[in-house]
Chain A
């Protein structure tokens, strides 16, 4: 459903005086973020700014537990020692990067190609970090700490907050819930060894995509957000058979650029 200025509860399209109440998830968030001097597109506010509740944090923990188990099982199966698996989980700090490297290694690719594809799939974290960096206010060291902790759920939820304080609060709370799941998942994965078939039988591989879909749910209710997601998905599908691992996801960022240009064009036409 497109968010139009005249559908704002107070009719103004923006109301800097409103504060977001983190304790009330159902609060209608009619605030355009204050960092927008010209919210002419009025797309900044989502119909309901998703402030996560306790059950949501538990689910993030579970989703990242599933990811952690998957990654460390893959590492152990590829013959990586427990110490290196834990170090990689701590330092590389990117499940997709580790899986991409292992995929190249399994296909007898060179270490250089493996490292390059690991970097390539992590480029989405650079994009997410730039999105967060445009909103996150704080001292440089705190921003650096936030940068290295950028994942999909914490950035996607943090940037949907209207108030700078809420951006920080939601980012770090979601980050903490992810970390608990990631670490316990990595340890359990190492201990369990081969559980991949069981986790598929339990449908655990469907957990992460479903959680991601819910996380961008509020963005999908905006016309430009839905356009960006659909274009991103379409570009990714088309690129998968023809490009090496990681590139399709990188190309899906073009969906955002296209949706952005489309929305600008529409708003210019709508303007008198």
Chain B
């Protein structure tokens, strides 16, 4: 990763964040109905990130120990457990299953 590539990546990422804030954001705010969409976007995109982190190896869809950890996390979130407990339980279950298998 050369310095030039670091700069190119930085500029591209910053440009997208700034255009979201200054171009797309105000558009969403102008239309009150679209404001609900602004609520829903993080839910959908973060769900996509969770799927990518939990159910893939490269570009293959897999179900492994991480899925069990996420399931336990889901149950605890539903039960309104504190974040620290959710995270610790997910790591423990994932690590525990890896240790057994």
Q: Which residues of B contact A39 (CB under 8 A)?
A: 32
Beyond A44-B39, A84-B6, A129-B21, whether A207 also contacts B91 by CB under 8 A is yes
CB-contact partner of A201 in B29, B35, B99, under 8 A:
B99
Cα distance A254–B32 in the bound complex, in angstroms? 19
> Is the beta-carbon distance between A216 and B47 smaller than 8 angstroms?
yes
Interface size on A, residues (CB 8 A): 113
Specify which of A55, A204, A214 lies most central, judged by the most chain B CB atoms within 10 Å of its CB. A214
Cα distance A118–B16 in the bound complex, in angstroms? 12
CB proximity of B89 to chain A, nearest CB, Å: 8
Fill in one digit per residue for A241-254: 1 if any B CB lies within 8 Å of its CB, else 0.
Answer: 10001001101111
- The answer, yes or no, to whether A135 is at the interface (CB within 8 Å) is yes
B:41-98 near A, CB below 8 Å: 41-56, 59-61, 65-66, 69-70, 73-74, 76-78, 80, 82-84, 86-87, 89-96, 98
18 residue pairs bridging A and B, Cβ less than 8 Å apart: A80-B1, A118-B9, A122-B13, A128-B41, A130-B27, A131-B25, A131-B28, A133-B26, A135-B29, A159-B39, A201-B98, A206-B66, A207-B87, A209-B49, A226-B43, A237-B51, A241-B59, A249-B45
Query: Interface on B for A, CB 8 Å cutoff?
Result: 1-3, 5-10, 12-14, 16-29, 32-56, 59-61, 65-66, 69-70, 73-74, 76-78, 80, 82-84, 86-87, 89-96, 98-99
Query: Interface on A for B, CB 8 Å cutoff?
Result: 33, 35-39, 41, 43-44, 52-53, 55-56, 58-60, 62-63, 75, 78, 80, 84, 87-88, 91-94, 96-98, 101-102, 105, 111, 114-115, 118-119, 122-136, 143-144, 146-148, 150, 152, 155-156, 159-160, 200-217, 219-220, 224-226, 228-233, 235-237, 240-241, 245, 248-249, 251-257, 259-260, 263-264
